[in-house]
Amino acid sequence: MIQTVLLDISGVLYQGPEAIPGATEALTRLRSSGLQVRCLTNSTRQPKHRIMDKLRDLKFEIQPEEVFTPVAACLDWLSRTGHSPRLLVHPALEEEFSACDRNGPPAVIVGDAAQEFSYENMNRAYRLLQNGAPLIALANNRIFKDEDGQLSLDAGCFVKALEYATGIRAQLLGKPDPGFFRAAVASTGAAPAQTAMIGDDAESDIAGALVAGLAEAYLVRTGKFREGDETRFAPEPTDTVSDVCEAVACLTGLAA
């Protein structure tokens, strides 16, 4: 029996400046049905507090401890290993690393750096990697749906470029890393086999969740979804639905 539901944020709960129609009510329906909720995002263009501000502005009732980001996993990794971050991230994200120890051996941290993915910055990261620094990817998504409604290149493309140039395999800390899903599930006291995922990315959200051992995964036709995604990656989704409202209806047994 499903006890916990994990949801992606951008493309599932909101897109650009607006909530997906019915998404706030869908989240309320999950809670009123006795299901626990956690939100997992690979967004690395803004710090967590801005994500929380936007969710609250859009009337979503979500607490900070219910939102899991790759940065939190990265900060834990840096603390455990004693590495010092060398950032290739969006400038807005740099504040998340302000308290990090800068005296340890360097580690290259890559997020969605947008315009910061310049030759100079990529080459600086390459040279650090050549000198032995580990490569840490906050996410490896191929594409995302941008603010203008069009698809844009995501951080995974640039992570792959660094992997290709150096022969080093990145350590992934966001989706679809199984540990990222399992940490969110563990915070609820449930097991992966008692958990479902709702997402718009067939590779990172859906296939990633099922590989991590989640029982069900629902692919929504909002956000970055493109026709054919439902069969593009394995494992395939439990079901492909119109939006988060229909996914919640499937999970709660109530009409959307």
pLDDT in tens, 182-223: 999 999 999 999 999 999 999 999 999 999 999 999 999 999
Whether residue 255 is predicted with pLDDT greater than 70 in this model: the reply is no
**How is 161-221 classified by DSSP, letter by letter?**
HHHHHH-PPPEE-STT-HHHHHHHHHTTT--GGGEEEEES-IIIIIIHHHHTT-SEEEEES
Same domain, 77 and 136: yes
How many domains in the chain?
Answer: 2
Full residue range of the structural domain in which residue 136 is found: 71-172
Tokens of 147: 């603010």
CB atoms within 10 A of CB 126: 18
pLDDT tens for each residue of 44-79: 999 999 999 999 999 999 999 999 999 999 999 999
Same domain, 195 and 159: no
Secondary structure class of 77 (helix, strand, coil): helix
Same domain, 155 and 186: no
Place of tokens 């941008």: 146
What CATH number is given to the structural domain containing 37?
A: 3.40.50.1000
Same domain, 194 and 137: no
pLDDT tens for each residue of 120-176: 999 999 999 999 999 999 999 999 999 888 999 999 999 999 999 999 999 999 999
Domain end, chosen from 172, 190, 205, is at 172
CB of 190 within 8 A of CB of 168? no
pLDDT tens for each residue of 19-39: 999 999 999 999 999 999 999
Q: Is residue 47 part of a domain?
A: no
